[in-house]
Chains A and B, each alone.
Chain A
Amino acid sequence: MTEQFPALIVVAPLVAALLVPLTARLSLAVTYCLILVSLMVSLTGALSALRYSLVEGAWHYYFGGWPPPWGIEYVVDPLAGIITSLVGLFGILVFFYSIPFLAGKEPREKGYFYSLYLLLLAGLLGIVATGDVFNLYVFLEISSLAAYALIAFGGHQGVVAGFRYLLVGTAAGTLYLLGVGYTYAVTGSLNMADLGNLLASLQSSRPVILAVALIVTGLGIKMALFPLYGWLPDAYSLSPPGVAPLIAGVMGKVSAYALYRLLYFVFKPGGPVLQVLDVVGWLAAAGIIVGSVMAIAQKEFGRMLAYSSVSQMGYIALGIAIGNAAALTGTLLHIFSHAVAKGCLFMVAGNGSWWGRRKISEMAGMSKAMPLTSATLVVASLSMVGLPPTAGFFSKWYLLMGAVEKGSWIYAVILVISSLLTAIYFFRVLEHVYLKKDPGASLGTPAEEGRSLRGWELAPSMLVPTLLLGLGILALGLFNAPFVDGLLKFSLPWRTW
């Protein structure tokens, strides 16, 4: 069975998703076992594919036995390996985290919910593992459709947010498809590696430049690049707290990964493509500042985190735009550090809303009621601001090095300013959590019946994932040197080892 691992990464959650609506009507225990087993298989596949790719090089898997460019292939190289491992790990943690939030729902509703959850996960994993640009579109649509529905599950406001995301997201998918169409028109191929070879001689052809612009716009919408982020604050903050960590934590990062892969492994910057990258860089810089400023203005914790995501996705896009080894390392490291930190913060926000408090001003006294959650919040905030020894510091450091190395001082200045702005809004939250007195009874008790804080502040299935992600931030920071040297170095478009 081991030779099937690259396919199983995606197919295991996919197959489980097809059965979950049926089994949920019969037995919830069986359903949860099924979900857990499929997620474990997926994670095992991702980890072993990662190990294989580090030893033997990229693992190519041909669907239907047809060699590319005629068939579809999966390519798991070290980069795809670590990102699939990250997504798989998130899948397991957020699955546990979401269980208490669904406690009051009907079994069949749980079945539909987890079916969509697994489909979202399978879509994200498929985007990462695939080596075919059209297959990427199909899985992009699977993950997007599942995400629209999950966001719309978050109440009446959630439906509006989900519908607006559906309009924008589908338009983004269509733009991406049109970009694929232009490259297909001038090359006749859909396989990434094949396209990379064919496009080398077409760098300055107009359809290729338009294709790059269309693909950057499409994936830019999905990863909320500066002027195209309008859907994000509502979608992230109004989605049900059970899945918000997954949606906010990895969905945008997977699009960023796809953009990185397409730009650096397929279109290979040179000539006019570099000008597109320049535009991306300026937009990203604007997004960093605008996102931070908007985050300062927010009263609700979830919305503040959502705007902070706009700013943080700007870092990732900026690294892609700068495009030297240090900046790309920073981008990849930031994909990880931000995914873990933002997932962790949305779990903290979810714990807060479990307690009935969504606004920042209501979070006073959290340090007493939820000491462990508050401690995690401190760690995650430090990472977002970029203080050592957390992961955020090192990714920003690499980005700064990249900007300086390229001589773009403006980018460097923006990186520093934005850290200060981030510090402003996160320390405001910490001030409320640790220094302000709990206004107590005036706020009323937990939002819904059956939700109370017990001895261990929360149910373990909520608390443990939060703490694990908090530890992950620290671990990623402390062991960042082996992480970069052992894994990320092999993910750069040029051989640097």
Chain B
Amino acid sequence: MDAIAGHLNYWLIAVLFVVGVYGLAFQDNLLKKLMALNVISVSTIAFFLNLGQKVGAKAPILPGGVKGGEAAAYANPLPHTLMLTAIVVGVATTGVGLAMIYRIFKHYHTLEESEILKGMRE
């Protein structure tokens, strides 16, 4: 039972990841694909944050610093830092993607990938 409780988060994250891959692979609309990409990156972020947890730990903020040997009482700050970076990268990529979608829509007047590819071949 404990094994399941301890790993349930990983399972949910796996499902989230696969949902993102589904959207990326099977949706035809470019905007939906971009959203699926965000779902994938959110699942990765959740995975890292999950690694930073400790049972009963406090937020890693303490004026005056922590005494030696008490590290277990505070959450691991490193994954949070890394994921701040990953979030920002995701936002930046989404911004560039939206700019490209804007250009594509202005020229092809559609966001369905199959129709755009047809338009490109002509």
In the complex, A touching B, CB below 8 Å? Answer: yes
Q: A138-B85, A181-B48 are in contact. Are A145 and B93 (CB under 8 A)?
A: yes
Q: A156-B107, A174-B40, A174-B41 are in contact. Are A163 and B51 (CB under 8 A)?
A: no
Binary CB contact string for chain B from 92 to 119 against chain A (1 if under 8 A, 0 otherwise): 1100110011011001100000001100
Binary CB contact string for chain A from 163 to 181 against chain B (1 if under 8 A, 0 otherwise): 1001100110110011001
A173→B86 CA distance, assembly (Å): 10
* A160 interface residue per 8 A CB criterion: yes
Whether B104 and A159, one on each chain, are in contact in the complex, defined by CB atoms closer than 8 angstroms, is yes
Residues of chain A with a CB closer than 8 A to B103's CB: 152, 156, 159
**In the complex, how many residues of chain A place their beta carbon closer than 8 angstroms to a beta carbon of chain B?**
25
* A264 interface residue per 8 A CB criterion: no
Interface of B is mostly: helix
- With both beta carbons as reference points, the residue of chain B lying nearest to A178 in the complex is identified as B44
Q: A149-B96, A167-B37 are in contact. Are A160 and B116 (CB under 8 A)?
A: yes
Residues of chain A with a CB closer than 8 A to B104's CB: 159-160, 163
A163→B24 CA distance, assembly (Å): 13
A152→B101 CA distance, assembly (Å): 11
Whether A162 and B100, one on each chain, are in contact in the complex, defined by CB atoms closer than 8 angstroms, is yes
A149→B95 CA distance, assembly (Å): 11
Complex partner residue of B96 from A145, A160, A178, A190, CB under 8 angstroms: A145
The A272-317 residues at the B interface (CB cut-off 8 A) are none
Beyond A163-B97, A178-B44, A181-B51, 7 additional contacts (C-beta under 8 Å) are: A134-B82, A145-B92, A159-B104, A160-B120, A170-B93, A184-B48, A184-B51
- With both beta carbons as reference points, the residue of chain A lying nearest to B33 in the complex is identified as A167
Whether A166 and B51, one on each chain, are in contact in the complex, defined by CB atoms closer than 8 angstroms, is no
Whether A159 and B100, one on each chain, are in contact in the complex, defined by CB atoms closer than 8 angstroms, is yes
- With both beta carbons as reference points, the residue of chain B lying nearest to A135 in the complex is identified as B85
* A416 interface residue per 8 A CB criterion: no
* B19 interface residue per 8 A CB criterion: no
Could you tell me the distance in whole angstroms from the C-beta of B42 to the nearest C-beta in chain A?
Answer: 10
* A148 interface residue per 8 A CB criterion: yes
A162→B107 CA distance, assembly (Å): 15
Residues of chain B with a CB closer than 8 A to A159's CB: 100, 103-104, 107
**Residue contacts A-B, CB under 8 angstroms, 13 given:** A145-B93, A148-B100, A156-B108, A159-B100, A160-B104, A163-B30, A163-B100, A166-B96, A166-B100, A171-B21, A174-B44, A178-B17, A184-B48
Which residues of chain B have a CB within 8 Å of any CB of chain A?
17, 21, 24, 30, 33-34, 37, 40-41, 44, 47-48, 51, 78-79, 82, 85-86, 89, 92-93, 96-97, 100-101, 103-104, 107-108, 116-117, 120
A4→B85 CA distance, assembly (Å): 25
Residues of chain B with a CB closer than 8 A to A156's CB: 103, 107-108
* A200 interface residue per 8 A CB criterion: no
Residues of chain A with a CB closer than 8 A to B89's CB: 138, 141, 173
Could you tell me the distance in whole angstroms from the C-beta of B45 to the nearest C-beta in chain A?
Answer: 9
- With both beta carbons as reference points, the residue of chain A lying nearest to B41 in the complex is identified as A174
Whether A177 and B100, one on each chain, are in contact in the complex, defined by CB atoms closer than 8 angstroms, is no
Whether A177 and B93, one on each chain, are in contact in the complex, defined by CB atoms closer than 8 angstroms, is no
* A185 interface residue per 8 A CB criterion: yes
- From B24, B30, B79, B100, name the one whose CB has the most chain A CB atoms within 10 angstroms: B100
* A197 interface residue per 8 A CB criterion: no
Could you tell me the distance in whole angstroms from the C-beta of A61 to the nearest C-beta in chain B?
Answer: 20
Could you tell me the distance in whole angstroms from the C-beta of B41 to the nearest C-beta in chain A?
Answer: 5
Residues of chain B with a CB closer than 8 A to A170's CB: 37, 41, 93
Residues of chain A with a CB closer than 8 A to B108's CB: 156, 160
Q: Which 7 A-B pairs have the closest CB atoms?
A: A163-B100, A159-B103, A156-B107, A141-B89, A170-B93, A178-B44, A181-B47
Binary CB contact string for chain A from 139 to 152 against chain B (1 if under 8 A, 0 otherwise): 00100010011001
The A228-269 residues at the B interface (CB cut-off 8 A) are none
Could you tell me the distance in whole angstroms from the C-beta of A144 to the nearest C-beta in chain B?
Answer: 8
Residues of chain A with a CB closer than 8 A to B100's CB: 148, 152, 159, 162-163, 166
A145→B78 CA distance, assembly (Å): 25
A178→B85 CA distance, assembly (Å): 14
Whether A171 and B51, one on each chain, are in contact in the complex, defined by CB atoms closer than 8 angstroms, is no
Whether A181 and B44, one on each chain, are in contact in the complex, defined by CB atoms closer than 8 angstroms, is yes
- With both beta carbons as reference points, the residue of chain B lying nearest to A176 in the complex is identified as B44
* A157 interface residue per 8 A CB criterion: yes
A145→B24 CA distance, assembly (Å): 19
The A171-225 residues at the B interface (CB cut-off 8 A) are 171, 173-174, 177-178, 181, 184-185, 190
Q: A174-B41, A174-B44 are in contact. Are A167 and B24 (CB under 8 A)?
A: yes
Could you tell me the distance in whole angstroms from the C-beta of A85 to the nearest C-beta in chain B?
Answer: 28
- With both beta carbons as reference points, the residue of chain A lying nearest to B76 in the complex is identified as A188
Could you tell me the distance in whole angstroms from the C-beta of B93 to the nearest C-beta in chain A?
Answer: 5
A159→B41 CA distance, assembly (Å): 23
A141→B86 CA distance, assembly (Å): 10
A156→B51 CA distance, assembly (Å): 43
A145→B34 CA distance, assembly (Å): 14
Whether B51 and A177, one on each chain, are in contact in the complex, defined by CB atoms closer than 8 angstroms, is no
